[in-house]
Amino acid sequence: MHIPDGFLSMPVLAATDITAVVAVGLALRQASKELDEKQIPLMGVTAAFVFGAQMLNFPIVGGTSGHVLGGLLTAILVGPNAALIVMTVVLIVQALLFNDGGVLALGANIINMAVIGSWCCYWIYRWLAQLLKNENFAAAISAWLSVVLGAVACALELSLSGTVPLTVVVPTMAAIHAVIGLGEALVTVAAIAFVKKLKPEIIHG
């Protein structure tokens, strides 16, 4: 899902970069009001976990592979605004030090994995938890959606850039990441259950 440089057109790059800057700025402003001294170290630990988890790939269909995104899990632990910041920092480090995703395409990658995959899906999780009265089921669905919706957004950006036709890229990305999302759901639910058993007070809210 990490988009390299050279795959997006200048209008799409400009639009996604500007949108990402605004989203991160708003998250920083809101997080500064919400965070306390206990949460800041947790953000660092969570960032390290997400970074490490994203380095581990697992095989899926057709010889492709996927990795855990960790966006929803981060939001459940530290809150949606802090999670957006954590995911952004991870994506910046990956782009600058490991060439995993382009520097110019950072805006698109932040939107797909931090804004949609973390911030937006956290509120979907909250809504589903109230609707279904089951936090684990809500977390599983929202974690799966965090991967699929992020992939669809990535596909739309590639299509708008003229890189790949819409009718090809959206079904392909959605199908592959629907499988990856199953792994995301399992990891997210297992991690939340572990944290609730070991140290439930660190979960946001």
Q: For position 152, which CATH number holds? A: 1.10.1760.20
Instruction: Give the domain range for residue 40.
Output: 10-202
User: CA angle, corner 145, sides to 113 and 46, nearest 5?
Assistant: 45
Residue-wise pLDDT for 27-85, tens only, equals 999 998 887 777 788 888 888 888 877 776 666 554 444 678 999 999 999 999 999 99
Residue-wise pLDDT for 105-164, tens only, equals 999 999 999 999 999 999 999 999 999 999 999 999 999 999 999 999 999 999 999 999
In 3D space, the residue among 31, 152, 77, 19 whose CA is nearest the CA of residue 160 turns out to be 152
**Phi, psi for residue 65 in degrees, rounded to 5:** -135, 160
Residues 6+ apart with CB under 8 A from 5: 102, 103, 104, 105
Residues 6+ apart with CB under 8 A from 187: 53, 68, 70, 73, 143
Specify if 4 maps to a domain.
no
Specify if 174 maps to a domain.
yes
Number of domains in the chain: 1
Specify if 79 maps to a domain.
yes
Specify if 2 maps to a domain.
no
Residues 6+ apart with CB under 8 A from 102: 3, 4, 5, 6, 7, 95, 109
Specify if 77 maps to a domain.
yes
